[in-house]
Each structure stands twice: as C-alpha cells, then as structure tokens.
Amino acid sequence: MTAAHPAAAPAGLSPALTGRVVLWSVVALNVLIVETVFLTADPAKNAVLGFGKWLGLHLALVMILQLVLVARIGWLDRRIGMDRLTSWHRWTGFTLFWLVLLHPTFVLLGYAGEYNSTPLKEFKTLSGQLPVLLGMLAAGIVLVAAGLSVRVARRRLSYEAWHTVHLLLYVAIVFALIHQLTEVSTFTSSPLAEAYWWALWVFALGSLVVGRIVLPLVRNARHQFRVAAVVPEADNVVSVYVTGKHLDKLPARAGQFMIWRFLGHGRWWEANPFSLSAAPDGRTLRLTAKAVGTASARLRTVPVGTRVFAEGPYGAFTALSRTKPATLLIAGGVGITPIRALLEEATGPTTVLYRAATTEQAVLLGELRNLATSRGAQLHVLTGRTGAGTPPNTPFAPENLLALVPDITDRDVYVCGPAAMTDAVLRSLRALKVPAAQVHSERFSLAS
C-alpha cells in the first residue's frame, strides 16, 4: 500500500476502545428500545407467557447481534479484530443456546397454565401450526450448532465440517424470521416499533450479505488476484506471492490477514486465513504458510498463474492500534509473518523479539535482519527449548522481558505466536503492568 499511515493514534480514545464503546453502546441502546416497546405493548395472557415472549424478543435480538459480529463490517474489524469479534460471537452463541431452551419452555408453560393443559399437549397442538413448527426447527438447529461449538466437540471436527453445520444457522434464521413475522405481536403494536424491528433485521442481514458476499465478489472482480511466485522458505514453510490489478487500491495494511482460496488447486470450499508476511506495496501481496494440514501443505505445489479468490484484508493487528511512539514486536514460530510486515512499517524506537527453537528454524530471519538494520530496530532471536538448562530457559518471564526491553511499559507491544507462548507473554505483560491498551495480539485461530 502506498499511502502513508500515522505512526501512532492521536491522543484520546484508542481505536480499539472506540470500536468497543460504539458497538456496546449501540447494543445497550437497542436493548433499551426493546424493553420500552415490550413494556408499552399489550400485555400477554399471563405472566409466564409474558416472560416467554420477553425471552423470545431477546432471543431475536441476540440473533441480530450474532449476525453483526460475523458480518465482517470493516469499521469494526479494523478496530476490534476478527479474532475478538468471532470470540464474542462464540460466547454470545451460548447465551443464544439458553434463550432457545428457555423461550419455548416458558411459552409452553404459559399456554398450559392458560388452557389448563400440560406443556406436552401444548407442544403437540402448537407444532401443528407451521410458523411455530418453523420456530421449533430453528431452535433445534441452534441447539445442534451450539452443541458442536463446545470445545470438546469442536476439537473432534474438521474446520470444514464444523463450518458446514454452522452454515445451517442461516436456514435457522430464515425459519426464525417466518416465525417472527407471523407470531410476534409485540412490535405490531405501533408502526414505528414495527419499522424499527424490521430495520434492525435488514441492517444485520444487509451487513452480512455485503461483508461476506458482495464485497469479496467486487474486490476479486476488481483485483483479479493470481499467483506470481511460490518460494520455499524452509522444509515446511512456503511463501506465495500474489499479484493483481489495482492492488494500490486494496485497503490492506501490514499486520492484516486475508482468507485465501486457490482456484482449481485443492478443494474449492477450503479457504484458509494467512497473514500478509510483507507490507502491501501496491503491486504484490505475500503470504507465508507453515504446512500443518492438507491445504497449507498443498501451497508448495500451487502453480504460478493460479487464480486466487481472496477475502479481506481483515484484522486490527495494525499500526492503527498504536498509542505510543515506541514499539516492541514479539513473534514465535510462523507468528513472524504479521510481525515481519509490521516491522516494515515501524517508526520510532522498535525492538523485535523472535522466538524459535534454533536460528535455522527461524523463517524469514535473513530479511528480518536486513529490515531491522535498515529501520534501526533491535532484533533479538531467542532460541533454545523452554524450561531447558539451569536456570531454566524462560525468555518471556517478566524479568527477562524487562532486561531486554527496559522501557517496555512505555511501548506498544504486538504479540503473535503459538497459543502457549502468546499466553505466557500476555501474563508477563500484565505482571509488568503494561497498560492493556498498549497490548495487541493476533492468534492464528478464529472462533476458539
């Protein structure tokens, strides 16, 4: 990318905090509106049924939030990051699970009380009505998807299998919409309330369609990405260079990632996220991938000229989050990819800590050294097995971090590496009292 980027965010709310404040204020405002409309609407036949309806409204509201969190809205993604947004989506998903159980339970109890029958009888009667049946089917799909998202179940499924089941949730949303159109009376009490409710749905579904379908299609038609070169970096690591048209107009930044699909090479439904391992220069994009499974291993044999369908760029692991003039970049293993790109854009005092088992295994080390020299940055390669030797090798223990970077509390710290390393670094940063707003991490996993 040719445009200059600010070295650090101006004083005031950091972009990450701004994103959070805006998102959660909008959520709070909508909760308030929904409560007001509920309280001013015609009362239900009895209190239990009323509570069931109240739960149903919140269930729909949580569904809307779920869509917004994964709609890949650029403004939110650049400030909060897709990893955090998908993690919130995951946790909100469990709220959805409980609401999906409780809403029909209270509705059935309410009707049973009203008509002096049993919840089971009411279930049989109500399931004979198509809109209610669709609501029940939607609930069933949500329960299955939530069940498969529990960590134990999720680990046993391939990413693609889990994702396919997750796609069924869109069917659940259609069923839930039909259910609401015919069953929900709260918002029909006033034309304004009704307009508000459907505007919320249009916004959520519209954002999703634009963010996940329209924008990727438009970008790929415009840029026509193609593989320009494939360069092995190590036995199990390869860099893929991608060119295309008008790449200077692609709003990509160092530290971001894209979701890549190599057309005609591998299975079309497989799309994998890889960070840009060099700052975008307006002519080429580069990703560097470690072979961990079939798709990443296959990259070594992708032919030059292969058409690429790439979604993104995404992510908040960029200089936009900077709050201080000085930076500490910490990478472990293949987590060097976004760190390498960030170093290219670094301004002000910069230190890089690169953790690898041996210097031979430290991919991109040569170019990292050159970059560090040209940008006047300090580079420390931290090798050896963690815990080995006397005293034990603990490069990211608070005292060791402080010894390497004495002014660490006055820097923005970017961390990307294996989960255990990232957790250890984040713990040490907390122990050293580095303010949370200065700590930025990228995890190579979404929705986990």
Ligand X SMILES: Cc1cc2nc3c(=O)[nH]c(=O)nc-3n(C[C@H](O)[C@H](O)[C@H](O)COP(=O)(O)OP(=O)(O)OC[C@H]3O[C@@H](n4cnc5c(N)ncnc54)[C@H](O)[C@@H]3O)c2cc1C
- Residues at the contact surface with ligand X, assessed by CB under 6 A: 158-159, 257, 271-275, 288-290, 292-296, 334, 337, 444-446
State in angstroms the smallest separation of the CB of 296 from ligand X. 3
State in angstroms the smallest separation of the CB of 442 from ligand X. 6
Nearest CB to ligand X, comparing residues 6 and 293: 293
The DSSP annotation for 89-154 comes to HHHHHHHHHHHHHHHHHHHHHHHHHHTT--HHHHHHHHHTSHHHHHHHHHHHHHHHHHHHHSHHHH
State in angstroms the smallest separation of the CB of 292 from ligand X. 4
β-sheet with 226-234: strand ranges across = 226-234, 237-243, 284-290
What pairing do the DSSP bridges indicate for beta strands 326-332 and 411-416?
parallel
The residue to which tokens 């970096």 are assigned: 233
Q: Which DSSP category does 44 fall into?
A: P
State in angstroms the smallest separation of the CB of 353 from ligand X. 18
State in angstroms the smallest separation of the CB of 294 from ligand X. 5
Q: Which two tokens stand for residue 132?
A: 């209610």
Helix axes 191-209, 15-40, angle to 10 degrees: 150
State in angstroms the smallest separation of the CB of 253 from ligand X. 14
Nearest CB to ligand X, comparing residues 8 and 276: 276
β-sheet with 272-275: strand ranges across = 272-275, 257-262, 308-314
Q: Which two tokens stand for residue 211?
A: 């963010």
State in angstroms the smallest separation of the CB of 260 from ligand X. 9
Nearest CB to ligand X, comparing residues 257 and 396: 257
Nearest CB to ligand X, comparing residues 306 and 337: 337
β-sheet with 350-355: strand ranges across = 378-382, 350-355, 326-332, 411-416, 439-442
Nearest CB to ligand X, comparing residues 271 and 326: 271
Indicate the residue whose CB is closest to ligand X.
293
State in angstroms the smallest separation of the CB of 164 from ligand X. 12
Q: Backbone phi, then psi, for 447, in 5-degree steps?
A: 55, 45
What pairing do the DSSP bridges indicate for beta strands 411-416 and 439-442?
parallel
Nearest CB to ligand X, comparing residues 159 and 198: 159
Nearest CB to ligand X, comparing residues 275 and 438: 275
Amino acid letter, 15: P
Nearest CB to ligand X, comparing residues 102 and 148: 148
Q: What CA–CA distances, in Å, run from 219 to 71, 264, 350, 369?
A: 16, 19, 34, 34
